[in-house]
């Protein structure tokens, strides 16, 4: 019986007890986890009952506890602390649960059923490589997708690539002016890095020209608006929009370089997508729905011809959806793209947008407009808002080339893992290839865990050295525990001839089983809250509980074959749940460390 099913049973019996003893009908029963300084496995909060039953909460708790011991086989004893009834569950309950799980590798996961969700993440610009900020975005989006799948949803992973606009033309123009036909092949650089270098080059030349114009007596505003290189970039954008063959050819070639670079980085990080959307193909979407919104009264037209949506009744402001010259704004495009996605994937009934918290207002407006346009699925749109990632050195700036490149970061993490692993000296018998794979697994696991263990809404100060610590709430600490269990299992072998059906549980064994039993609920909580942090921190608590068990109870040198076999099975179950939980975070676990 799962903990949720047990709560239903207890709730039903407590209502019967209150009805029999006090003659009143109790609507709901409040449960909570028992505090660690009290004996018990699950706690009934007595105080709400006092609204119906006048009396001493301790006396009422004692009466209900006695009733449960007599009538519910899973409850072995109880204690009451003030208004809290702490229930101790029987060993047989936990043993029955543990023995009922035939395969912990899939424990807690549900088969897909019902409507599908689409999760958007990454969505980079094609004028620079992915950086640390993108890494948090990608890791969050991918992990939420995997958690939703484990909770029983069908999920489509997508991104919209920002491949048009003035920022793209800046990289293109700088390459045209200063590139001397340099290519990824001729330079030996990844395509996204090469193009990013020219984005930085544009900014440097732009600042030089601004300085010259300032010395010529121009105001700062005039200098910024009239710098020759910026005017050339604007002219290039007009040519692209007009379909100029040479401009489009250069745009296609340079974007192609970037896509190859992105693909390499995504593979290195270990994430993927089911469908790609490109802004160059979606920026005209949505205009037809502006006309529909005008006719239905959702939008209104101003005297200059621009079209707006009045959201003041909802506490927001008026939002433009079409300029006076008939061109679309980002909001128009996002309206059209959302609608297009539902057309492309008919079973999609909700979408999650993984975008930084600076865009919170934008998504408030987008979701509200889609609801006003009458789309039922708009009720199931969610902005997975997240805080920035800071470094000890300060904020990153793409234009100035001060970002932490994602590829460089992954390499640095592997190098840090190598340094710490070599100091521990436990992999001397590994081949060079095995060592390199291990360093990558540990380094990437450290990075992912450090970012995902934090609630998405919180800002992160990323410290690479701290993240690769083999002690504390870190990825490598959990990976090391998994590897330690694999070592135990290799030494123990398996015994099919020993039954553990009537086993007498040790307190430390019971504590581990209690943690294992929570995993299905943890998956659902993480899915409902779109929070990988719930899975990450649960895994750490499970590992802490296992290590306490490991330090206090002998496994391989147990007093009997039955004890040894049960503890081996328990260790195996823990390792499978660690592996399963980490897979939801996109983290691999090594068999040896």
Give one DSSP letter per residue of 247-264, joined into a string.
HHHHHHHHHHHHHHHHHH
- The rounded percent of the chain whose pLDDT value lies above 90 is 84
- Bridge partners (DSSP) of residue 351 are 118, 381
- Report all structural domains of the chain as residue ranges with CATH numbers, in order of start: 3-89 (3.30.1360.70), 165-258 (no CATH), 406-584 (1.10.730.10)
% pLDDT > 70, the chain:
97
**Half-sphere CA count of 296, side-chain side, radius 13 A:** 13
Residues 414-443 pLDDT 10s: 998 998 888 776 777 888 999 999 999 999
What is the rounded CA–CA span in Å between residue 63 and residue 75? 14
| Tens of pLDDT, residues 41-72 | 999 999 999 999 999 999 999 999 999 999 99
Q: DSSP code of 90? A: P
Segment 496-514 mean pLDDT: 85
Residue-level pLDDT at 246? 97
Average the pLDDT over 214-229 and give the result. Answer: 96
pLDDT at 401 over 60: no
pLDDT reported for residue 258 = 98
Choose the weakest-confidence range: 88-102, 132-146, 289-303, 401-415: 401-415
Cα–Cα distance, 368 to 524 (Å, whole number): 27
Calculate mean pLDDT across residues 265-275: 96
Inter-axis angle of helices 561-584 and 507-517, nearest 10: 30
Give Cβ neighbours of residue 16 (< 8 Å, ≥ 6 apart). Answer: 71
Q: How do beta strands 348-356 and 116-120 pair? A: parallel
Per the DSSP assignment, residues forming a β-bridge with 476 are none
How confident is the model at residue 28, as a pLDDT? 93
Cβ-based neighbour number of residue 368 at 10 Å: 17
Q: What is the pLDDT of residue 402?
A: 55
Is residue 392's pLDDT more than 80?
Answer: no
Q: State how beta strands 348-356 and 381-386 pair.
A: parallel
Q: With H, G, I as helix, E, B as strand and everything else as coil, classify residue 457.
A: coil
Residue for token pair 């519910």: 72
Tokens of 592: 């040896």
CA angle 427, 432, 436 (to 5 degrees): 80
**Which residues are CB-neighbours of 359 under 8 A, at least 6 positions away?**
383, 385
Contact of 61 with 49, CB cutoff 8 Å: no
Q: What's 345's DSSP letter?
A: S
Residue 398 has pLDDT above 70, yes or no: no
Can you tell me the mean pLDDT for 187-207?
A: 96
List residues bridging with 278 in a β-sheet: 161
Please provide the average confidence, as pLDDT, over all residues in the chain. Answer: 93
The more confidently predicted of residues 464 and 285 is 285
- How far is it, in rounded angstroms, from Cα 96 to Cα 89? 12
Cα-based torsion angle of the residue sequence 259, 265, 269, 274 in order, rounded to the nearest 10 degrees: 10
User: Tokens for 400?
Assistant: 């100035």
User: What's the mean pLDDT in 554-562?
Assistant: 92
Say if residue 395's pLDDT is above 60. no
The model's confidence at residue 393, banded by pLDDT at 50, 70 and 90, is: low
What is the structure's pLDDT at 345? Answer: 95
399 pLDDT above the threshold of 50: no
What per-residue confidence (pLDDT) applies to 474?
A: 95
Nearest alpha-carbon partner for 555 in 506, 515, 521, 519: 506
Helix or strand run (H / E) with residue 584: helix 561-584
Half-sphere exposure of 286 (CA within 13 A, CB side): 26
């Amino acid at each position: 019986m799962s903990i949720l099913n047990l709560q239903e049973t207890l709730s039903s019996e407590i209502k019967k007890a209150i009805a029999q003893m006090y003659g009143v009908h109790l609507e709901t029963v409040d449960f909570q986890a028992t505090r660690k300084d009290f004996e018990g496995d699950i706690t009934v909060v007595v105080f709400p009952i006092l609204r119906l039953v006048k009396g001493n909460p301790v006396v009422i708790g004692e009466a209900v506890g006695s009733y449960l011991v007599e009538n519910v086989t899973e409850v072995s004893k109880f204690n009451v602390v003030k208004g809290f009834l702490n229930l101790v569950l029987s060993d047989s309950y936990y043993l029955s649960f543990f023995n009922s799980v035939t395969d912990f590798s899939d424990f807690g996961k549900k088969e897909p059923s019902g409507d599908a969700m689409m999760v958007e993440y990454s969505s980079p610009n094609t004028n620079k490589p992915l950086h640390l900020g993108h890494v948090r975005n990608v890791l969050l989006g991918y992990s939420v997708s995997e958690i939703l799948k484990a909770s029983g949803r069908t999920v489509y992973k997508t991104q919209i690539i920002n491949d048009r606009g003035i920022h793209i033309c800046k990289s293109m123009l700088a390459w045209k002016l200063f590139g001397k036909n340099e290519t990824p092949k001729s330079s030996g650089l990844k395509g996204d890095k090469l193009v990013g270098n020219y984005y930085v080059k544009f900014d440097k030349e732009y600042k030089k020209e601004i300085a010259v114009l300032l010395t010529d007596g121009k105001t700062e505003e005039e200098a910024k608006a009239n710098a020759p290189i910026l005017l050339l970039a604007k002219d290039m954008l007009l040519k692209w929009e007009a379909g100029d063959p040479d401009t489009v050819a250069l745009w296609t070639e340079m974007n192609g370089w970037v896509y190859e670079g992105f693909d390499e980085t995504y593979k290195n990080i270990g994430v993927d997508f089911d469908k790609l959307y490109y802004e160059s193909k979606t920026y005209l979407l949505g205009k037809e729905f502006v006309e529909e919104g005008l006719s239905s009264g959702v939008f209104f037209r101003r005297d200059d011809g621009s079209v707006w949506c009045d959201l003041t009744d909802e506490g927001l402001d008026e939002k433009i959806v079409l300029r006076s010259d008939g061109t679309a704004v980002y909001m128009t495009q996002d309206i059209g793209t959302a609608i297009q996605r539902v057309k492309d994937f008919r079973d999609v009934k909700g979408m999650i947008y993984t975008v930084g918290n600076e865009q919170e207002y934008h998504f408030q407006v987008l979701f509200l407009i889609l609801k006003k346009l009458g789309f039922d699925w708009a009720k199931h749109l969610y902005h997975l808002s997240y805080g920035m990632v800071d470094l000890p050195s300060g904020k990153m700036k793409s234009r100035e080339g001060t970002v932490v490149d994602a590829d460089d970061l992954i390499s640095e993490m592997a190098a840090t893992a190598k340094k710490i692993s070599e100091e521990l000296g436990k992999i001397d018998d590994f081949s060079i290839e095995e060592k390199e794979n291990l360093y990558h697994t540990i380094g990437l696991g450290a990075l992912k865990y450090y970012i995902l263990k934090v609630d998405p809404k919180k800002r992160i100060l990323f410290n690479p050295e701290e993240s690769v610590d083999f002690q504390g709430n870190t990825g490598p600490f959990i990976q090391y525990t998994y590897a330690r269990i694999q070592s135990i299992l290799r030494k123990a072998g398996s015994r099919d001839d020993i039954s553990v059906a009537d086993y007498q549980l040790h307190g430390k064994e019971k504590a581990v089983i209690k943690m294992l039993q929570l995993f299905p609920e943890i998956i659902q909580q993480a899915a409902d809250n779109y929070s990988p942090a719930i899975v990450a921190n649960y895994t750490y608590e499970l590992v802490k509980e296992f290590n306490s068990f490991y330090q206090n109870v002998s496994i391989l040198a147990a007093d009997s074959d039955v004890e040894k076999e049960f503890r081996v099975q328990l260790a195996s179950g823990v390792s499978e749940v660690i592996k399963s939980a980490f897979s939801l975070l996109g983290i691999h676990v090594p068999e040896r460390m």
